[in-house]
Amino acid sequence: MRARVHAGDPDAFRELFDEHARSVYNLAFRLTGNWSTAEDVVSLTFLEAWRLRERVDVALDTDAGGGSLRPWLLGIATNVTRNVRRAARRHATALVRLPKDDAVPDIAEEVTSRVDDRRRLALVRTALSALRRPEREVLVLCVWSGLDYAEAAAVLGVPIGTVRSRLSRARKKLSGLVDTAGLRPSGEGREPGTGRGQLEDDRGFAVRSMQENTR
């Protein structure tokens, strides 16, 4: 697959999309909290993957578990999400500077409140918004996307120790908000181990808390 993607095989990219589009979408949604933006991120991620296809390392030792292109795609998606959010902030700033017209009733908030009228999803969104961007990215990559410390470090371009410290801070902040809201199922909160599956307890809580967006 790596050789085919590197060579620009269209069929390989179709397979890549079919296999990993949902993972990219979930990551983008959890970083932005917006379905429409997440869909845009998916499209932009695979366009960027096509542009960067020749950077795929075809010599990577697949027998050592490094053959999957999922971490590579999630890294691209993380950078695309950052760019999309920056563009949205610039757009919002530009709109604020425009002359004010007569007020027009806006039903967007009402519609959104109806769509997001599930207490658990709303509380988790609030908790995530309280995290700094680097903490939120590590949480999404390690907890929801299932990357281990080394994979997340490679995606973000930071040392493994930085991933550990960011994740620890994110978990402490999130834990306080979760306990306050009464969302934590009994028996959870244990420290993660190492390697793949390290965050199974946290992921169980996270997946249950965000189950609405994965249906």
Question: Which CA distances in Å does 181 have to 1, 126, 178?
Answer: 45, 11, 5
The string of pLDDT tens digits covering residues 60-77 is: 655 444 578 999 999 999
* 61 exposure class (CB count in 10 Å sphere: 0-12, 13-18, 19+): exposed
Q: Which of 135, 33, 40 is nearest to 87 (CA)?
A: 40
Quick one: pLDDT at residue 172?
A: 85
d(CA 87, CA 110): 25
C-beta neighbour count of 180 within 10 angstroms: 11
- pLDDT band (50, 70, 90) for residue 163: very high
User: What pLDDT digit, counting tens, does each position of 74-113 carry?
Assistant: 999 999 998 888 876 665 666 666 666 555 455 455 554 5
* pLDDT of 194 above 70: no
Evaluate if residue 215 carries a pLDDT over 50: no
Sign for the pseudo-dihedral over CA of 138, 140, 146, 151: negative
- Rounded to the nearest integer, the mean pLDDT of the chain is 74
Vertex 174: Cα angle to 152 and 91 (nearest 5) = 75
Domain ranges across the chain: 1-96+115-181
Banded model confidence at residue 59, pLDDT cuts 50, 70, 90:
confident
Asked if residue 193 has pLDDT above 50, the reply is no
- Whether the pTM exceeds 0.85: the reply is no
Q: Which amino acid is at 115?
A: V
Average of pLDDT values for 182-188? 47
| 190: amino acid identity, one letter | R
Length of the chain in terms of residues written: 215
The tens digit of pLDDT for each residue in 21-42 reads 999 999 999 888 888 889 999 9
pLDDT cut 70: percent of the chain above it: 60
| Residues whose CB falls within 8 Å of the CB of residue 137, separated by 6 or more in sequence, listed in order | 31, 78, 156
Residues 6+ apart with CB under 8 A from 147: 71, 74, 141, 155
Which pairs from 55-63 meet CB under 8 Å and 24+ separation? Answer: 56/2, 56/5, 56/6, 57/2, 58/2, 58/3, 58/6, 60/2, 62/2
- Classify domain 1-96+115-181 by CATH architecture: Orthogonal Bundle (1.10)
